[in-house]
């Protein structure tokens, strides 16, 4: 506990944590990390080199893990099971590559599910020699910086969220022949979520936007898309962003309830192997809104 050092990034979010082994946490150190997570929303732990089981063990401290594909940890990787790098030119992308490329746009995890995620533990096993960073954007600070008119508007609006919608922009269509049949692409509904989310533990308000958000009830679809894309572009600017440059063995922990994130582009011919454990959201605090009745959608 005495060796724990928490150094803020200088942006409105994020801190680097050293002097700790995530594989062997005592209770006081864990409590200090949890408090720092709520304060900074993003914690970076260099050089941890966790095994998959150690990462799962750390993630379980936050509660249930959201199972993706039935497991508590999943590879986010452009490397196939046989060790070959997936085809990386756009004309050859399979649907798994389309998911990887889709993740290069700002988003929050699982907003397209009935209960969105609380956060994530993410680690780097094999990282490109250049680029391939992960960027994070502070939606608490973005909300705080809104002008009065926009703030009033976002409090009155909600948006549907869909992975099928966001991936369709890359030509990813669900189907039996898809290389990615999984999580989110099998959803037949698009949950409705308010554009302003109240954090259930800190009480802070933040914008809930990103690439999965679309179709604001009461707005023309084209108008909705322009509004939401403009809001993301405005929100994800300094000093509200921090970009982590990966070294193999690093671990990051982020709060999905108030941040957006994205993978930064890299030479897709280079392998990148990351491990993701998604923290399950509270069934009440992270639940979607009830569906909008057709008559109410025009109000």
Asked if residue 216 is part of any domain, the answer here is: yes
Q: Domain limits at 266?
A: 5-283
Instruction: Tell me, yes or no, whether 294 lies in a domain.
Output: no
Phi and psi of 170, rounded to 5°? -105, 10
Question: H helices within the chain, ranges in order?
Answer: 27-40, 52-60, 95-102, 139-144, 148-155, 163-168, 221-235
Q: How far apart are CA 80 and CA 129, in angstroms?
A: 19
How far does Cα 197 stand from its chain's mean position? 15
Is residue 51 assigned to a domain? yes
Q: Could you tell me if residue 270 is inside a domain?
A: yes
The CATH number of whichever domain residue 184 belongs to comes to 3.60.130.10
CA distance 265 to 153: 33
170-202 pLDDT, tens digit per residue, is 888 776 556 565 677 778 889 999 999 999 999
Confirm whether 125 is domain-assigned. yes
- Distance of alpha carbon 216 from its chain centroid, rounded? 21
Q: pLDDT (tens digit, 0 to 9) for every residue of the chain, 299 residues total?
A: 458 999 999 999 999 999 999 999 999 999 999 999 999 999 999 999 999 999 999 999 999 999 987 789 999 999 998 999 999 888 888 888 999 999 999 999 999 999 999 999 999 999 999 999 999 999 999 999 999 999 999 999 999 999 999 999 988 877 655 656 567 777 888 999 999 999 999 999 999 999 999 999 999 999 999 999 999 999 999 999 999 999 999 999 999 999 999 999 999 999 999 999 999 999 999 999 987 665 444 44
Do residues 120 and 243 touch, judged by C-beta distance below 8 A?
no
Is 296 among the domain residues?
no
Beta strands in the chain (DSSP E): 5-8, 15-18, 42-45, 65-66, 74-77, 119-126, 134-138, 158-161, 192-194, 196-198, 205-207, 213-214, 241-244, 251-255, 259-263, 273-279
245 located within any domain: yes
d(CA 131, CA 271): 12
d(CA 269, CA 105) in angstroms, rounded, equals: 20
Q: How do strand 259-263 and strand 65-66 relate by DSSP bridges?
A: unpaired
Task: Assess if residue 88 is contained within a domain.
Answer: yes
Domain count, the chain: 1
Selection from 115, 279, 101 nearest residue 187 by Cα: 115
């Amino acid at each position: 506990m005495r060796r724990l050092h928490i150094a803020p990034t200088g942006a409105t979010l994020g801190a680097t944590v050293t002097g700790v082994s995530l594989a062997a946490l005592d209770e006081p150190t864990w409590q200090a990390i949890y408090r720092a997570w709520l304060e900074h929303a993003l914690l970076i732990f260099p050089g941890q080199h966790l095994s998959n089981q150690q990462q799962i063990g750390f993630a379980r401290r936050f509660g249930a893990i959201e199972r993706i594909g039935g497991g508590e940890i999943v590879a986010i990787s452009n490397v196939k099971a046989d060790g070959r790098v997936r085809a990386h030119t756009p004309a050859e992308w399979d649907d798994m590559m389309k998911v990887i490329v889709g993740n290069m746009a700002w988003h929050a995890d699982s907003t397209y599910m009935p209960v969105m995620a609380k956060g994530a533990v993410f680690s780097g096993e094999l990282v490109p020699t250049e680029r391939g960073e992960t960027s994070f954007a502070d939606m608490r600070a973005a909300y705080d910086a809104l002008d009065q008119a926009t703030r009033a508007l976002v409090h009155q609006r909600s948006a549907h969220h869909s992975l099928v919608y966001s991936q369709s922009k890359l030509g990813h269509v669900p189907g039996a022949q898809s290389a990615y049949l999984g999580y989110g692409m099998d959803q037949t509904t698009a949950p409705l979520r308010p554009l302003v989310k109240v954090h259930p533990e800190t009480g802070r308000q933040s914008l809930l936007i990103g690439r999965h958000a679309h179709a604001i009830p009461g707005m023309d679809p084209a108008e909705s898309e322009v509004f939401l894309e403009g809001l993301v572009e405005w929100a994800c600017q300094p000093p509200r962003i921090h970009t982590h440059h990966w070294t193999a063995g690093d671990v990051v922990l982020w709060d999905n309830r108030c941040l957006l994130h994205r993978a930064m582009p890299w030479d897709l011919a280079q392998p990148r192997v990351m491990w993701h454990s998604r923290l399950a959201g509270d069934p009440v605090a992270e639940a979607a809104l009830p569906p909008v009745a057709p008559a109410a959608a025009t109000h």
